[in-house]
Amino acid sequence: MKKVAIALGLLLSNSALAFNDCTQLDAQILGKVKSVTEVSATQVRVTIDWSQKYLYAPSFNCPLAIGEVSSFGFITTRKVTVGQQIDGIAYRSTQEDATAIYLW
pLDDT for res 21: 87
Number of domains, the chain: 1
DSSP 63-99: BPPHHHHHHH-EEE-S---TT-EEEEEEEEETTS-TT
Contact (CB, 8 A) for 73 and 45 = yes
pLDDT for res 54: 93
pLDDT digits (tens, 9 = 90+) for 2-61: 554 454 454 444 444 455 689 999 999 999 999 999 999 999 999 999 998 999 999 999
CATH number reported for the structural domain that contains residue 89 in this entry: 2.40.50
Domain extent for 90:
22-103
pLDDT for res 88: 94
pLDDT for res 16: 47
Question: Does 15 reside within a domain?
Answer: no
Question: Does 17 reside within a domain?
Answer: no
